[in-house]
Amino acid sequence: MKKASILVIDDEEVMRDSCRQVLTRQGHDAHTASSGTAGLGLLAEHNFDLVMLDLKMPGLGGMEVLDRIKQAAPETIVVVITGHATVAAAVEAMKLGAYDVLPKPFTPDELLAIVNRALERRRLVTENFSLRGELQGLRENEFIMGPNPGMRGIFNIIAKVAPTDSTVLITGESGTGKELIAQAIHRSSPRRDGPFIAVDCGSIVPTLFESELFGHVKGAFTDAVANKRGKLELADGGTLFFDEIGNIGPESQAKLLRALQEREFYRVGDTRSISFDARIIAATNQDLRQAVAARTFRDDLYYRINVVNLDLPPLRERKEDIPLLVAHFLKEYNRRRKRSVGAVSEAALGLLLDYSWPGNIRELENVIERAVILCDGKTIEPWDFPFTNARTRAGEAAAAPTEGTLEDVEKAHIMRVLRQVGGHRTKAAQALGVDRKTLRAKIRRYGIQEPDRG
């Protein structure tokens, strides 16, 4: 692990010195502060890769220090260390931006393990920032890059291919963001000042595809009452994006291939050829190799468009990115819908992580937008989501054995839901994603006094 600059903020001298010695022996540059105020003073003067922060300190408390750190330097990784670890405290610290919580007492190996994980996260954050600088055409916050290695590989390829004119084929399921990737490549390329023209191959009627792509002259057919420029002509000097290119019919494939090879075309009804200069990016949710084998897609066209392939992973294979995506969409739709929903509850986030996401990022975005609009409070809860599959899984999770403070969290959650539905057990069970029998057993188990139904 590369040498890092680490600050330990703790009011216990023994704890500070122990951490400093362990970290120093590993080659890190370790600093210490005996109070939150002293720690913030050091942070104002130096850049630290990692802060180890005690929650319980006299004077300025750890939560307030954490909040100030994340406001002043949101990229700083903070690990909370505490001898009073509870689920509630951990959740609150994570909401404020802490990377993880390390309960006291801990061994040197436990300290180094969490430090190594935190520094790896710091490295990813730094690489993310650097990569965003290379992808200068990207709008701020348009893409959320989490720890998923597959997506990190995609962005590294984008950074390399964008400055070139190479043809790119983007593959992946519907809703994975293929057009957004195409736009990112365009805006990061030398053609960024030229047009980005999208062709939706799935919605164009086959008989009109040639007119849409090449244009037509007045009188070429019954409805051709004026000359029309096609997509190829409109994209001259920029980028032409073929969305769902696998839906193009055999005859249109042949004409498209000829135009791409010769870099010229004829408007429908015209005898004069028109040259064009556009970068080609294509996307599909189909397996074009199977389509080639089945002879429904031309092999020569496939090889023409598949110079560089970007295969976007489905959301169910990059679930570690979901919390960042949720935070992004929450912020975005609060702004768009003029709402002030501040957070997603731990239980709700658990459902999002457990759901299979057949509609991928597009479905997640729609779910968060709907929840922001319909949420009655400041926090999105499980019942604000439309998918029943997640509620069923919530019932399985709720029925799992718990211990310690998790029981208090579950009991409080059940009591809160019962109050919200006026003590109606059927509605409470539906909101919690469990059946009435399970809810009844939990009410008895926790000795919950049900609210008066009036």
Tens digit of pLDDT for each residue in 306-343? 999 999 999 999 888 888 888 888 988 998 888 989 88
Which one is predicted more confidently, 398 or 256? 256
pLDDT surpasses 90 at 167: yes
* β-bridge mates for residue 279, sequence order: 239
**22, 45 Cβ separation under 8 angstroms:** no
Class of domain 5-129: alpha beta
What per-residue confidence (pLDDT) applies to 98? 86
Distance CA 234, CA 213 (A): 9
Which sign does the torsion angle of CA 354, 356, 360, 366 carry? negative
**87, 116 Cβ separation under 8 angstroms:** no
For residues 126-145, average pLDDT: 48
Distance CA 80, CA 94 (A): 9
What per-residue confidence (pLDDT) applies to 288? 95
The helix/strand/coil state of 51 is strand
What per-residue confidence (pLDDT) applies to 101? 86
pLDDT surpasses 80 at 293: yes
Query: What does the block give as tokens for 310?
Result: 């970007």
Distances (CA, A) of 180 to 138, 142, 196, 203: 10, 8, 12, 19
The helix/strand/coil state of 168 is strand
State pLDDT tens for residues 189-241: 999 889 999 998 888 877 788 888 998 888 888 777 788 888 998 999 999 99
Indicate the CATH number of 317-446 among 1.10.8.60, 1.10.150.20, 3.40.30.10, 1.10.287.3610. 1.10.8.60
**131, 271 Cβ separation under 8 angstroms:** no
- First-to-last alpha carbon distance for the chain, in angstroms, is 62
Tell me, what amino acid is at 110?
Answer: E
Q: Phi/psi at 192 (nearest 5 deg)?
A: -60, -30
All CATH 3.40.50.300 domain ranges of the chain, comma separated, are 149-311
What per-residue confidence (pLDDT) applies to 133? 47
CATH number of the 149-311 domain: 3.40.50.300
All CATH 1.10.8.60 domain ranges of the chain, comma separated, are 317-446
Q: Among residues of the chain, what percentage have pLDDT more than 90?
A: 34
Q: Over the chain, what is the mean pLDDT?
A: 83
pLDDT surpasses 80 at 85: no
State pLDDT tens for residues 344-377: 888 888 888 888 888 899 889 999 999 999 888 8
**70, 78 Cβ separation under 8 angstroms:** yes
pLDDT surpasses 70 at 1: no
All CATH 3.40.50.2300 domain ranges of the chain, comma separated, are 5-129
Return all residues near 89 (Cβ < 8 A) that are at least 6 apart: 55, 82, 101
